[in-house]
Amino acid sequence: MFNYRGKTALVTGASSGIGKAFARALAARGMSVILVARGEESMKALAAEITQKHQVQAHVIVADLSRENATAVVSAAVAERGLTVDLLVNNAGFMTHGPFESIDTAAEQAEVMVNVTSLVGLTHAFLPRMLSQREGGVINVASIAGFQPIPYLATYAATKAFVISFSVALYEECRGRNVCVLGLCPGNTATELFDRASAPEAALGKPRTVEQVVATALNGLDKKRSLVTDGLKNSLLTHGPRLIPRWFAARCAGQAVRPRSK
């Protein structure tokens, strides 16, 4: 069982969706929270709610994780407040959708920065102390999209494949040192992800709630799992690509999420 009470969690993408649900759930378990995102007003409102409801500290750090100096900005802000991070939740991420050649290059590069580069950077910033203290955890939010190549979501699926591989590798490195690194793979979830990407075709199946996704993650953390998939149907979907040729899995996935209006 992870030791939550009296500890501090840093949650990226905390202004909405899964990140906001993580912050609420962790505060309910007695953790102080550090909220990181671009949406200052939303985070301030969430911080006030958490402080009033759970009597824990809630700090707000405004940062754009698509910027090259994002990790340094967040690390410096945490240090300036005299805080330490016992649980890092790398939740921030976004999706681009459409034929690869039609997607804005800057958007694709920002997607890699948020989904991969900042995730690695923040893990590098806060994991060493956890290991030296022999206590702590990292939750990296991947996706079931990371289990196979997906045309029209090529960059997004590739970034999530990276997160899965990175998380399981670090889990093994940290195993036996009382620090758990967990990769979390949600499927379609009731967030703004698909709307922001103008990708309704990619929202396959009935969406799970953000609370269900967070409950799956924290259950996995408590059990010291390396990788968890949220929901039985989503878990079954991750096994399909392993049973058929990769090119055929990609073809089937591309047909399912092909943009209808592009």
State the chain's mean pLDDT as an integer.
Answer: 92
Question: Which of the pair, 28 or 202, is modelled with greater confidence?
Answer: 28
How far, in Å, are 18, 32, 55, 188 from residue 11 at the CA level?
Answer: 10, 11, 18, 21
Lowest mean pLDDT among 94-103, 185-194, 237-246: 237-246
Residues serving a catalytic function are: 156
> pLDDT confidence of 207, banded at 50, 70, 90?
confident
State the pLDDT at residue 261. 59
State the pLDDT at residue 216. 97
State the pLDDT at residue 239. 76
> pLDDT confidence of 178, banded at 50, 70, 90?
very high
pLDDT in tens, 109-166: 999 999 999 999 999 999 999 999 999 999 999 999 999 999 999 999 999 999 999 9
Q: Which helix (H) or strand (E) holds 62?
A: strand 58-62
Residue 262 has pLDDT above 50, yes or no: no
Q: Give DSSP secondary structure letters for 85-133.
A: -SEEEE-------S-GGGS-HHHHHHHHIIIIIHHHHHHHHHHHHHHHH
CATH architecture of 8-257: 3-Layer(aba) Sandwich (3.40)
Report domain extents, the chain. 8-257
State the pLDDT at residue 247. 73
Region of residue 139 (phi > 0: left; psi between -120 and 50: alpha; otherwise: beta)? beta
Q: Name the nearest CA neighbour of 12 among 98, 110, 127, 141.
A: 141
Its pTM surpasses 0.75: yes
Region of residue 176 (phi > 0: left; psi between -120 and 50: alpha; otherwise: beta)? left
Q: By three-state DSSP, how is residue 65 classified?
A: coil
Residue 198 has pLDDT above 70, yes or no: no
- pLDDT, mean of residues 166-194: 91
How far, in Å, are 86, 96, 228, 262 from residue 101 at the CA level?
Answer: 41, 12, 33, 12
Residue 235 has pLDDT above 90, yes or no: no
- pLDDT, mean of residues 231-242: 79
State the pLDDT at residue 195. 62
CB atoms near residue 117 (< 10 Å): 19
State the pLDDT at residue 232. 86
pLDDT in tens, 21-59: 999 999 999 999 999 999 999 999 999 999 999 999 999
Distance of CA 148 to the CA centre of its chain: 18
